[in-house]
């Protein structure tokens, strides 16, 4: 039948019957004589970058917080199977939209996908911005600090592993610049301003199976290690306090990753981790970066190269 002979009309009143639905072609499940490109297994195939409003659990039994989550869901595909129905990834996530999300929720969803799609490997990731109320240093003002986070789960051959990614933005005052400025002040009576810069730490951690850990725990670890988190609300007294805090806790990028290493290495719920810090230099036209890991045999290798993603 030629295109010219077809009716160019959308029938808004057309209703699907079970018989009509069964007659629709299903190209992914058709038995083709061969699979284009050759018979090879696919590690990940699925849907990404779709959004859902989800509720996330908060620490100490606080009311869950509803956030926009950006979802990625993939499954493995055996060499002899042509493909999957992509919409089942999205539909499957919607079946869990009323859950209060933790890492354990990802395990439930992954097990559902493995059974529903007949896959030996499922990988899920939820990216979201998590708010924590921050109090100013001296004025008593409050404002919400938002943290870029992700929950990730991998189910492979029945074994589930869970991960958390967490970004922490802080100020890094340069120790060298601070000492040189003081030298100019004391030896020559010259005022100097030490340079400091907005900086970011990214923690990517594998969590011990069955452990309960929250985004608030990650924020507390970073704050305990680095102290100089950027501020939301400030008055003059807060700005002065922040300058004093930068003076008390100045640090090179090497100091920052080691301080974070000590903090996360002391948490028994964290099985493995990789930490990346970037100090976005105000002295140089380039940045200073450092990468450290826990050092678990067969764990994170420290092979990080996407430093541009740390620009903040």
Q: How many CA atoms lie within 13 A of 163 on its CB side?
A: 20
pLDDT of amino acid 29 = 63
**Which pLDDT band, with edges at 50, 70 and 90, does 39 fall under?**
confident
Instruction: Read off the pLDDT of each residue in 143-159 and give the average, rounded to a whole number.
Output: 97
**Which pLDDT band, with edges at 50, 70 and 90, does 3 fall under?**
low
pTM of the model: 0.91
pLDDT at 77 over 70: yes
Measured distance CA(56)–CA(231) in Å, rounded: 24
Measured distance CA(36)–CA(245) in Å, rounded: 62
Residue 208 or residue 21, greater confidence: 208
Q: What are phi and psi of 6, to 5 degrees?
A: -80, 150
Of 74, 72, 82, the closest CA to residue 41 belongs to 82
pLDDT at 146 over 70: yes
pLDDT of amino acid 34 = 67
CB-based contacts of 146: which residues, under 8 Å, 6+ apart? 129, 130, 131
Percent of the residues in the chain that have a pLDDT greater than 70, as a whole number: 96
pLDDT of amino acid 26 = 73
Residue 33 or residue 180, greater confidence: 180
CA distances from residue 211 to 207, 262, 265, 268 in whole angstroms, order as listed: 7, 20, 15, 9
């Amino acid at each position: 039948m030629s295109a010219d002979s077809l009716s160019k009309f959308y029938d808004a009143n057309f209703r699907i019957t079970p018989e009509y639905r069964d007659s629709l072609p299903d190209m992914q499940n058709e038995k083709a004589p061969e699979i284009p490109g050759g018979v090879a297994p696919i590690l990940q195939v699925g849907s990404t970058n779709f959004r859902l409003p989800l509720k996330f659990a908060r620490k100490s039994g606080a009311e869950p917080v509803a956030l926009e989550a950006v979802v990625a869901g993939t499954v493995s595909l055996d060499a002899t199977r042509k493909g999957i129905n992509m919409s089942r990834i999205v539909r499957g996530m919607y079946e869990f939209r009323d859950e209060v999300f933790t890492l354990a929720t990802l395990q439930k969803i992954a097990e559902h996908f493995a059974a529903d799609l007949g896959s030996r490997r499922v990988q899920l990731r939820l990216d979201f911005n998590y708010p924590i109320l921050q109090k100013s240093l001296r004025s008593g003002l409050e404002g919400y600090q938002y943290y870029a986070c992700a929950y990730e789960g991998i189910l492979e051959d029945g074994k589930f592993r869970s991960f958390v990614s967490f970004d922490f933005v802080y100020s890094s005052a340069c120790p060298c610049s601070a000492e040189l400025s003081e030298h100019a002040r004391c030896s020559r009576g010259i005022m100097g301003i030490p340079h400091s810069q907005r900086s970011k730490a990214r923690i990517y951690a594998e969590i011990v199976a069955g452990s309960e850990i929250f985004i608030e725990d990650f924020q507390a670890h970073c704050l305990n290690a680095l102290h100089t988190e950027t501020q939301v609300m400030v008055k003059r007294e807060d700005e002065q306090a922040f300058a004093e805090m930068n003076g008390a806790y100045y640090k090179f990028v090497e100091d920052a990753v080691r301080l974070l290493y000590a903090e996360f290495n002391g948490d028994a719920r964290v099985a493995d981790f990789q930490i990346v810090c970037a100090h976005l230099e105000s002295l140089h036209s380039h940045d200073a970066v450092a990468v450290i890991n826990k050092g678990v045999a067969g764990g994170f290798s420290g092979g990080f190269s996407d430093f541009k993603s740390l620009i903040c």
